[in-house]
Amino acid sequence: MRGFPATKRLKKSLFLAFALTGALSLSACSDIDDALFGPDENAAAAFPGDNSAPSADSAAPTAGSALPGAGAPVAAAPAFGGLAPIASLSPVVIEAGADTGTAVNKSIQSLRSQVSGLQQKLMANAQRLNELRGQGAGAASAFQEAKARITTKLQVGTTRGNPELVSQWNAAQSQLDALSGNINGLNALGTDVTNDSSTAHYALDQIGVTFNVSGAVDEDHRQLRILEDETNQTIVLIDRLLKEVSDDVQRQTAYVASERANLTNLASSIKNGEMYSGMLGAPVAGNLIPGAQIASSSTPLVVIRFDHPDVDYQQILYAALNQALQSRPSAGFEVVAVSPTRGNAASVQIAQSTARRHAQAVMRSMTDMGVPASRMGVASTTDPGATTSEVRVFVR
């Protein structure tokens, strides 16, 4: 596997696993784990000489792969362990129009065919998501069962390096690796859905342009209006599916990051034959007071300028937070909304509201990366030198 596919519109799934700060990584040789947590240098030494440990297969139920017919909602994958699949998506029925014989109508027919194709892809992608969710739920269930057996045995007492527990540990590791592969599948699906979204928006733009082409009859414009509505509905469904995929990527990545640390802790416990409580490298910082003032000598860890729509800051923010935690694992962070002071009073007030909204978005991103709310604070200020809304993140 080659890690996460690049995508322009899908949010990057960059999650900061605080529980892994200072902990050993027992990741398998998966590129996705190396990218997030660094190469695994100690996994081979965790249980030397054990090459015969069984690898439990994922017990994930999968739905049929047949493409739903026109007008039929996509079949939901069976829920595994109470996991609810994505709500059924009913495809938009694309109305067929009569051929008026005009050149404009030929363009309408081409656009209609394009939107119909997007509907089919939408249903197929929704089915893929259901299948990936079922597979992920199966792997997570098998992982938790293996981990529970290890924990139970350690709790009542056992021998040092018990080979039965080593075998269970390897089974749990195998299931966690399967979840990592599931994340890659979700990212690939997100890339496909993002491409479909771009195609749908382009088709909508072309419909708008076609309205202005001369040589059309009234029937052509009627068909265009209907097709425009159908395309807008298609875009809504695609965006909904894209959000579902993005949420799943974030949730599963955070889960895998946390459980890697748990496995590291269990490996040490198995070697010593006794349970260690808590996770390694998870110090807790004191709460930060929201609205605290900034010292004039403070230097921001990162400055995010929102000078254009859809600012892509997640990767830079992740790298900065990761570097700060490597230097100081107990660090907390303060997110400061900075607004310019140019214009009249109304303009300044609008700028302050915009800056606060951007700060809230940055805090949500930090939460998704694994920063606990107790280690974050928020404040707002103005800066005559600022030309646009900014968010500055300080280490506290």
Query: Is the same domain home to 327 and 260?
Result: no
In a domain, 249, yes or no: yes
| CATH number where 332 lies | 3.30.1330.60
Final residue in a domain of this structure, among 250, 282, 314: 282
* Total domains in the fold of the chain: 2
How many CB atoms sit inside 10 A of residue 130's CB? 22
Contacts of 379 (CB under 8 A, 6+ apart): 290, 291, 292, 293, 294, 334, 335, 336, 337
Query: Is the same domain home to 52 and 112?
Result: yes
pLDDT at 278: 41
Least confident window among 294-308, 329-343, 366-380: 294-308
Final residue in a domain of this structure, among 251, 282, 313: 282
Would you say 56 and 175 are in contact if contact means Cβ atoms under 8 Å apart? Answer: yes
In a domain, 148, yes or no: yes
- How would residue 1 be classed by pLDDT, with cut points 50, 70 and 90? very low
In a domain, 206, yes or no: yes
**Average pLDDT for residues 15-33, to the nearest whole number?**
36
Structure tokens at 298: 């403070």
- How would residue 12 be classed by pLDDT, with cut points 50, 70 and 90? very low
In a domain, 196, yes or no: yes
Query: Is the same domain home to 179 and 64?
Result: yes
Domain span at residue 341?
302-395
In a domain, 119, yes or no: yes
How many CB atoms sit inside 10 A of residue 52's CB? 7
pLDDT at 370: 74
Model confidence pLDDT, tens digit, residues 188-230? 999 999 999 999 999 999 999 999 999 999 999 999 999 999 9
**pLDDT reading at 51 higher than 90:** no
Query: Is the same domain home to 390 and 332?
Result: yes
Query: Is the same domain home to 223 and 105?
Result: yes
| H or E element, residue 201 | helix 163-210
The dihedrals phi and psi of 391, each to the nearest 5 degrees, come to: -130, 125
**pLDDT reading at 61 higher than 90:** no
Query: Is the same domain home to 108 and 199?
Result: yes
Model confidence pLDDT, tens digit, residues 98-126? 899 999 999 999 999 999 999 999 999 99
Model confidence pLDDT, tens digit, residues 145-177? 999 999 898 888 889 889 999 999 999 999 999
- How would residue 364 be classed by pLDDT, with cut points 50, 70 and 90? confident
Final residue in a domain of this structure, among 282, 317, 340: 282
pLDDT at 70: 37
Query: Is the same domain home to 316 and 263?
Result: no
In a domain, 216, yes or no: yes
Per-residue DSSP letter, 93 = P
In a domain, 258, yes or no: yes
Query: Is the same domain home to 203 and 236?
Result: yes
Higher pLDDT, 91 or 131: 131
- Residues 151/152/157/161 CA torsion (nearest 10 deg): -50
Radius of gyration of the chain (CA): 26
Query: Is the same domain home to 45 and 122?
Result: yes
Query: Is the same domain home to 233 and 345?
Result: no
Q: Which of 287, 368, 369 is nearest to 333 (CA)?
A: 287
Query: Is the same domain home to 369 and 258?
Result: no
CA distance 246 to 10: 7
**pLDDT reading at 67 higher than 60:** no
In a domain, 274, yes or no: yes
pLDDT at 133: 92
Query: Is the same domain home to 251 and 323?
Result: no
E strands, 262-383, in order:
302-305, 333-339, 376-382
